[in-house]
Amino acid sequence: MIQIDIPGFQTLSIRHVLLDYNGTIAADGRLIEGVAAAFGALSQRVDLHVITADTFGQAQTQLQDLPCQIAILPAGNQTEAKLAYAHQLGLEQTVCIGNGRNDRLMVKEAVIGIALIQSEGAAVETVMSANIVCHHIVEALLLLTEPKRLIATLRT
């Protein structure tokens, strides 16, 4: 668990990080460089969950050796399915990270929502729903392994 007191924001007890796959931790179906190492470090403190429609059909292969749980969604109602998964984890203890339009509700409702603008771009609705916007997944994950960065971003 990650405990962080953010002045003027709230005290967080983070147990889960829920991440979209394509556009978030992968580009064109392949894991982005640095994600595996970041997962290794972060998994010592929280449970990692990857949720995806698996557009390129490579998520399970790419993630097979990483310390995370994988949920592959059927086509249709992905926005609601991602939010429902985050609800099951407990929104008050879950950080959600994504870039797509179907990530917007989980990013909005999570205790901390992080939107990413990488090679795939990001849906405006998701960016507007986030607490934080990053331009690389490893930097987003470092906000959690180096919590003073998170404090500097969200304090008032």
Query: Is the confidence at residue 5, as pLDDT, over 90?
Result: yes
Read off the pLDDT band of 76 (50, 70, 90).
Answer: confident
pLDDT at residue 109, as a whole number? 97
Query: Is the confidence at residue 75, as pLDDT, over 90?
Result: no
- Centre a 10 Å sphere on the Cβ of residue 147 and count the other Cβ atoms it contains: 18
Query: Is the confidence at residue 74, as pLDDT, over 90?
Result: no
Q: What is the mean pLDDT of residues 20-28?
A: 95
Q: What is the mean pLDDT of residues 10-25?
A: 96
pLDDT at residue 55, as a whole number? 87
Percent of the chain at pLDDT exceeding 70: 100
Rounded to 5 degrees, φ, ψ at 39 are -60, -40
**Strand 112-116 relative to strand 30-31: parallel, antiparallel, unpaired?**
unpaired
Torsion of CA 146, 13, 94, 108, to 10 degrees: -90
Distance of CA 131 to the CA centre of its chain: 12
The average confidence (pLDDT) of the chain is: 95
Query: Is the confidence at residue 91, as pLDDT, over 90?
Result: yes
pLDDT at residue 7, as a whole number? 95
Q: Could you tell me the sign of the dihedral formed by the alpha carbons of 134, 51, 90, 38, in that order? A: negative
* H or E element that contains 3: strand 2-6
Determine if the pTM surpasses 0.85: yes
Count CA atoms within 13 Å of residue 148 on its CB side.
Answer: 0
Percent of the chain at pLDDT exceeding 90: 93
CB 61 within 8 A of CB 21: no
Q: What is the mean pLDDT of residues 85-102?
A: 97
- Centre a 10 Å sphere on the Cβ of residue 43 and count the other Cβ atoms it contains: 14
Q: How far apart are CA 52 and CA 72, in angstroms?
A: 5
pLDDT at residue 36, as a whole number? 96
CA angle (3, 84, 13) in 5-degree steps: 5
